[in-house]
Amino acid sequence: MKLSFKHIATFLNVGEKRSSRIISSIGLGIGVLLLLCSVQMYYNVNLLIKDKNPRKDGFDFISVTKNITDANMAEDHRFTSADISEMKTHAFVSDAAPLVSNQFRVRANAANIIHSTDLFLESIQDNFLDILPPSFSWHPGQEDVPIIFSSDFLEMYNVFATAQDLPQLSASSIGVINIMLECSGRTGRSIELRGHIIAISDRINSVVVPEEFLQWANKNLEGCVDPPASRVYIKTVDANNTDLLKYLEQKDYHVNKDKTKFGRVKQILQAIVSGLGGFAILVILLAMMLFSFYLQLMIARSKDNLQLLLMLGYSPGWLSKTVAKKWIPVYAIIIISALVFTEILQYLFQQTFLNGREVLSPVIHPMVLIVAAVLMVLCVTVNYRLIRKLLYKL
C-alpha cells in the first residue's frame, strides 16, 4: 500500500477556522484574474492598434522632418547622411531614405491648367515608392520627365478647379496633360522639358521625379552634388512602435501625427495595462503571503505530531511533498477559475464592444495560458519550498 496524504491527514491540525484559507483563496483568485486580464488586454491593445493602421507590404512609411520652431528657424534643418545612417542602426527602422528636392529653379506651364508657376520636384529611392511604373526612369538627353504625383495634390486641385473654371481630372486622365518644365540654375544653363504624370501615389505627398533626373539637374543646372534632404522617409514594421515614437521624440523629429496617433494611444494604454499588471502581481504576492501564514500556522499547530512522525521514520522530504501536493488542487481550481473568467470577459469584450468583429479572437491569447501555467508552477514551488523549510526546522 502506497502511503499518501490521507494516511497522515488526521495528524495535521488544519484549524477550525476556514476563513483565513477562504480569504487567501479569494485574494489569490482576484490577483490571478487581474494579471491574466492585463496580459490579454496587452495583446488586445496591440491587435486593435495595428488594425487601425492598414499597411502595404507589411511596412509603414513615415515622412520625418526636423522640428522648426521660432527659436531655431535660422538653423539648417536638413538631414545629413550621418543622420540617416544613425536612423538605420535602430531595430525599429527597417530602412530610411532621403527625399531629395530640386536645388535649381523649376517653372511649370500646362495649357489651361497651370499658368506658369514655380514648382518643386523631389526624388526618392525607387523601393520607397508605393507605385512604380516601368516608364519611371530618365537618362540625360531624354526630353520627357516622368512624374509621380501625390493623390492629396490631385484631390486639392479638383477641389478648387471648378471655382477657377478649370477641368476636374481623374487619376487616369491626368496623364494626358503636358507640363512644360523650364529648369534653370546658377550655372546659367537652362533647359525645357516635358513632364508627364504617369502615376498617382498615396504614400508620398510630393511631385516625384526619377532620382537620375534630379541628380543630373542639380549637378548640371545648380552645380550641386548630393544636397542634404529636408525630409526622410522611414520604412518600419510598425509606425506605432513605442520605441520608434520615443526615438523620434528624443531626436525632436517631426512626423505626421495622424500616422502615429494610435501609437501614442497605445503608449497610454500599455502604461495602464502595465499598471494593472503591477497591481495584480502585488495582490498575488499578498495572497501568497496569506497562504504562507496559514501554512506556518498549520505546521505550528501540528508541530508535535509532525515531530513524532519524523521520529517514527517519516522522511521530511516525503512529508513536504505530500503536504504540498495537497494544495495543488486548491491552486489549480483558483487558476483555472481565473482562466475561465478571463475567457468569458474576452468573449464579452469581443461580442459587446467589437460587435463580434474578427479583429480580435473571442478566445484568449496563448500567452495568457502560458502565464497561468507559470503562476501554477510558481505557487506549487513556493508552497513546497516553504513547507520543506518549516519541516526541516522541526
- One symbol per residue from 10 to 49: x for binding other proteins (CB under 8 A), - otherwise; what is it? xx--------------------------------------
> Is residue 81 near other proteins by the rule CB under 8 A?
no
Show the beta-strand stretches assigned E in the chain.
Answer: 60-66, 95-101, 105-110, 114-118, 122-123, 144-150, 179-184, 190-201, 207-208, 231-236, 253-255
Min dist CB 2 to other proteins, Å, is 9
By beta-carbon proximity to other proteins, the closer residue of 7 and 357 is 7
Candidate residues 3, 332, 340, 377; the one interacting with other proteins per rule CB under 8 A = 3
- What is the rounded distance in angstroms from the CA atom of residue 352 to the CA atom of residue 201? 38
CB 7 within 8 A of CB 305: no
Candidate residues 15, 175, 228, 316; the one interacting with other proteins per rule CB under 8 A = 316
- One symbol per residue from 252 to 291: x for binding other proteins (CB under 8 A), - otherwise; what is it? ----------------------------------------
Min dist CB 26 to other proteins, Å, is 31
Give the rounded distance of the alpha carbon of 31 from its chain centre. Answer: 27
By beta-carbon proximity to other proteins, the closer residue of 3 and 348 is 3
Q: Would you tell me the crossing angle of helices 366-393 and 257-301 to the nearest 10 degrees?
A: 30
> Is residue 314 near other proteins by the rule CB under 8 A?
yes
Candidate residues 118, 141, 312, 329; the one interacting with other proteins per rule CB under 8 A = 312
Min dist CB 308 to other proteins, Å, is 6
CB 185 within 8 A of CB 106: no
Candidate residues 74, 176, 225, 311; the one interacting with other proteins per rule CB under 8 A = 311
Candidate residues 33, 200, 239, 309; the one interacting with other proteins per rule CB under 8 A = 309
Please report where in the chains the cell 511533498 appears, as a residue: 321
The conformational region for residue 98 under phi > 0 = left, psi -120 to 50 = alpha, else beta, is: beta
Q: What is the dihedral of CA 240, 243, 248, 251, to 10 degrees?
A: 180
Give the rounded distance of the alpha carbon of 1 from its chain centre. Answer: 58
**Residues forming the site for other proteins (CB under 8 A):** 1, 3, 7-8, 10-11, 305, 308-318, 392
